[in-house]
Structure 1
Amino acid sequence: MASTQLSSTDLERGGGKGRRANGPSGNYYVDSADREWTSWLIPMFVVANVAVFVVAMYINNCPKNKLALDEACVAKFLGRLSFEPLRENPLFGPSSSTLEKLGALEWDKVVHRHQGWRLVSCIWLHAGVIHLLANMLSLIFIGIRLEQQFGFVRIGVLYLVSGFGGSILSALFIQNNISVGASGALFGLLGAMLSELITNWTIYTNKAAALFTLVVIIAINLAVGILPHVDNFAHIGGFLIGLLLGFVLLLRPQFGWVESQYLPADARPSSKYKSYQYILWVVSVVLLIAGFTVGLVMLFKGENANKHCSWCHYLSCVPTSKWKCSN
């Protein structure tokens, strides 16, 4: 989605003992000892999301619940896996009551019924086949490349913590509807790609093109969030957490330090990372701790974030002549 194929040479890195590799945001040169991980966690996440959706459809059992009503399930040949009527769910999926039962994010249940686990469970639920396909294709496209470059531990942490952060921001602003989906976690990966490009700026080739491409893709995806029934607060929250986590987890050592393993001890650079990388790391850690602390305190005190920001609701839905944002 945001990976670009760039071919120019990085004069700052030189030829050396490196080889060209495709990074999440563009091409860069890496030392011959650098490894590329085998991606297995992201495919497992995809399988888990699909499995949860199948279970949700099995529990939903549209034919049984609509038996006494004058409404036809969609794709009846699927039996109890058939979809809710399109009038109720145009995304080809289960009913909202089934999603709520299985762990959809709902402010009242999180705050007043102490079901904080919904902040995590909602990440694995999807409203329908269309919703699931869009998110899983994005996850494969973005996540596999990131996992190959940085390993399953860092990308797994990025995915889960970003999804959690997106759920917190969503619950603070959306208190009358349920919310499901892995979009917050996916936007976290996009945010991490941007911070990875910034913090490792000197090792990339054709930096401006990579940055421009990535920013455009992020802007387009965030712009889609202003449509009704799209939880853009989860997108924004996940993106911000992923952006900060990227500065913390996705640092690459400067090229001179990597090459120094072939040099005498007295000829090696004194620092593995550049000073701006350390600064970004410290600032990001402080902002992450402060952000999660303030967000969780506000949430479990039952505060409505819209009262502190009169215009923020426009970030999730902008009313037009074609649609309204009241519900």
Structure 2
Amino acid sequence: MNSNFIRRWRQSNWVTILILGITVLIFLGETLTGGSQSPQVLVNWGAKYDPLVQIGQWWRLITPIFVHIGFMHIFVNGFTLYYIGGAVEQMIGHWRFALIYLLSGLSGNLMSFALGGAAVSAGASTALFGLFGVYIALGVIFDDSYYLRQTGRQFLMLAIFNLVFDLMASGIDIWGHIGGLIGGFLLISAFALPGQKFRKGVAWQASASIAFLAICAFLYWLGMVR
């Protein structure tokens, strides 16, 4: 029985569920402490606010992926996380998914910090765009797989559609979305999938790792000096 439980646990999307659960709890905390649309409440719960990042509160480049502004914001992002996140977790494994989700959110918030405005911002969309980047990269890496190649193209079109929508809508952080997308693409390019050798070679893997670190370092520097 214990072995069956462990096997089911390993095969489940427990990281996705854990992240979603934390996100919902934080949203309830926002609601109970003044409302999820109050800028001060959002800042209190970890939203990104550039002046605070610039004085040393670097964790605000990660915590915003768990903070949301209004019910529709968390509903749409939570729905996307549950379905797309669960599928990605099953495909690439638990620890890869956790790292890519968090680090894509980081790269997205870094690009927003460096190139966006100083307004309070929050939401999981930086990390979710990282998941789009995962699918796009897998379509490139496994170009002999019809399924992954077609899925990658579909997610590329979905990402483009969303970015075009960002340009036409107000209050949406397009730089955060672009940064998350790039981060997800580079991060999955740096990892081999479970049980498979890396398809593009060590040089591709090393280049993706170096590129991710270099981009993040440059964006952090740019955000601190601008």
| 1:219 aligned onto 2:160 | yes
Contact 1:39-1:151 at 8 Å conserved across structures: no
Structure showing the higher helix proportion among its residues? 2
1:145 to 69, 83, 87: 87
What does residue range 184-199 of structure 1 map to in structure 2 within 5 Å? 184-199=126-141
Structure 2 residue aligned with 1:24: none
Flag structure 2 segments of 5+ consecutive residues without an equivalent. Answer: 1-9
| 1:288 aligned onto 2:218 | no
1:67-116 deviation per Cα after TM superposition (whole angstroms, max 9, x unaligned): xxxxxxxxxxxxxxxx6xxxxxxxxx4311211222211111111x3211
> What is the rounded CA distance, in whole Å, between the counterparts of 1:145 and 1:238 in structure 2?
18
TM-score norm. by structure 2 comes to 0.88
Seen in structure 2, the aligned counterparts of structure 1 residues 175 and 215 have a Cα distance that, compared at 3 Å, is: closer
The structural deviation recorded for 1:166 is: 0.7
What does residue range 23-42 of structure 1 map to in structure 2 within 5 Å? 37-42=11-16
Contact 1:248-1:284 at 8 Å conserved across structures: yes
Contact 2:49-2:120 at 8 Å conserved across structures: yes
Seen in structure 2, the aligned counterparts of structure 1 residues 129 and 280 have a Cα distance that, compared at 3 Å, is: same
Q: Counterpart amino acid of 1:162?
A: S
The structural deviation recorded for 1:273 is: 4.3
| 1:51 aligned onto 2:18 | no
Seen in structure 2, the aligned counterparts of structure 1 residues 210 and 102 have a Cα distance that, compared at 3 Å, is: closer
Secondary structure, aligned partner of 1:155: helix
1:102 to 45, 48, 51: 45
> What is the rounded CA distance, in whole Å, between the counterparts of 1:184 and 1:207 in structure 2?
22
Contact 1:199-1:277 at 8 Å conserved across structures: no
Q: Which has the larger radius of gyration?
A: 1
Seen in structure 2, the aligned counterparts of structure 1 residues 169 and 101 have a Cα distance that, compared at 3 Å, is: same
Structure 1 residue aligned with 2:150: 209
The structural deviation recorded for 1:176 is: 3.0
The structural deviation recorded for 1:236 is: 0.5
The structural deviation recorded for 1:170 is: 0.6
> What is the rounded CA distance, in whole Å, between the counterparts of 2:176 and 2:29 in structure 1?
24
Structure 2 residue aligned with 1:9: none
| 1:121 aligned onto 2:56 | no
TM-score norm. by structure 1 comes to 0.62
Seen in structure 2, the aligned counterparts of structure 1 residues 101 and 208 have a Cα distance that, compared at 3 Å, is: closer
Seen in structure 2, the aligned counterparts of structure 1 residues 148 and 233 have a Cα distance that, compared at 3 Å, is: same
The structural deviation recorded for 1:118 is: 1.1
Contact 1:196-1:250 at 8 Å conserved across structures: no
The structural deviation recorded for 1:207 is: 5.9
> What is the rounded CA distance, in whole Å, between the counterparts of 1:273 and 1:209 in structure 2?
20
The structural deviation recorded for 1:279 is: 3.5
Secondary structure, aligned partner of 2:37: coil
The structural deviation recorded for 1:250 is: 4.4
Identity of aligned residues (%): 25
2:73 to 128, 131, 134: 131
Q: Counterpart amino acid of 1:37?
A: Q
Contact 2:92-2:194 at 8 Å conserved across structures: no
The structural deviation recorded for 1:297 is: 2.0
> What is the rounded CA distance, in whole Å, between the counterparts of 2:222 and 2:60 in structure 1?
16
Q: Say how many residue pairs are matched.
A: 216
Seen in structure 2, the aligned counterparts of structure 1 residues 114 and 127 have a Cα distance that, compared at 3 Å, is: same
The structural deviation recorded for 1:299 is: 2.3
> What is the rounded CA distance, in whole Å, between the counterparts of 2:31 and 2:146 in structure 1?
47
The structural deviation recorded for 1:133 is: 0.5
Secondary structure, aligned partner of 2:40: helix
Cα root mean square deviation, aligned? 1.9
The structural deviation recorded for 1:141 is: 1.3
Structure 2 residue aligned with 1:167: 109
